[in-house]
Amino acid sequence: MILLDRVSVMYPNKTVALSGVSLHINPKEFVTIVGASGAGKSTLIRLLIKEEVPTSGKIIVGSIDYDTIDKANIPHLRRRIGVVFQDFKLLPNMTVFENVAFALEVSGVSNREIKRAVPKILQLVGLSEKMHSYPSELSGGEKQRTAIARALVRNPKILIADEPTGNLDPKNSWDIIELLLKINRFGTTVLLTTHNKEIVDALKKRVVTINRGRIIKDEKIGKYSL
């Protein structure tokens, strides 16, 4: 469960990034967040992963109240939230296997568990045959699948996909969307941000529209309209 209650973010220069945003997302939902550049989508994501602190309002994810969480527990929070970005953020000197394994290594997971978990997640995203390849040897779609595998390998309850198809051609874009839907069917809550009207309209999922820091539309089965 994700709950934002009258959340606002104002920067020292008086720029308002979010204004009185209230949003409730149930476990296992698939929600698309749309809005023009600068509308507040990125601020919303940074709030959810605790890289940003609201000026006012309350945020609760699962049973975690963001007002009371201490710094020592922020890594635990972030393990519950996987994030995938438009630009992949893969380590170029590591193979697909090593990129995914790295997410577990930094969490102190044993080598035995890494050797068990990584092949399973690579099979899920369709990259078993690419596990020993380096990012430079992958297509754009394969790079994004690697990034998704890295985000999923810690079994997060929530997956945030921030413009995951922005650098991909239409075929690979749809492959990634199908993968996100598959992940959602397995029980992971998915938040997708995108500018792709065709994808939003075809999904027939809940659409939240942000404009100038405010939610102006929240439709159970929505379309892309700004």
- Convert the pLDDT of each residue in 4-39 to its tens digit: 999 999 988 888 999 999 999 999 999 999 998 889
Confidence bin at 70 (pLDDT 50/70/90): confident
Residues 105-112 have a mean pLDDT of 90
Number of domains in the chain: 1
Residue 41 falls inside a structural domain: no
The distance of Cα 185 from the centroid of its chain, to the nearest Å, equals 16
128 inside domain:
yes
pLDDT at residue 223 tops 80: no
Within a domain: residue 135?
yes
Indicate whether 134 belongs to any domain. Answer: yes
68 within some domain: no
Report how far Cα 73 is from the mean position of its chain's Cα atoms: 20
Q: Evaluate whether residue 187 is within a structural domain.
A: no
- Whether the model clears a pTM of 0.75, i.e. scores above it, the answer is yes
* Bridge pairing between strands 64-65 and 56-61: antiparallel
> Residue 151: which domain range?
92-155
Q: How far apart are CA 59 and CA 25, in angstroms?
A: 12
Q: Tell me, what amino acid is at 86?
A: Q
In a domain, 107, yes or no: yes
Distance CA 146, CA 84 (A): 10
| Residue 98 falls inside a structural domain | yes
Closest by Cα among 118, 101, 177 to 144: 177
For 114-150, the pLDDT digits (tens) are 999 999 999 999 999 999 999 999 999 999 999 999 9
Q: Is the pLDDT of residue 91 over 90?
A: yes
Spatial distance between the Cα atoms of 7 and 5, rounded to a whole number of angstroms: 6
On the question of pLDDT at 222 being above 80, the answer is no
pLDDT for residue 226: 62
- Which helix or strand (DSSP H or E) is residue 211 part of? strand 206-211
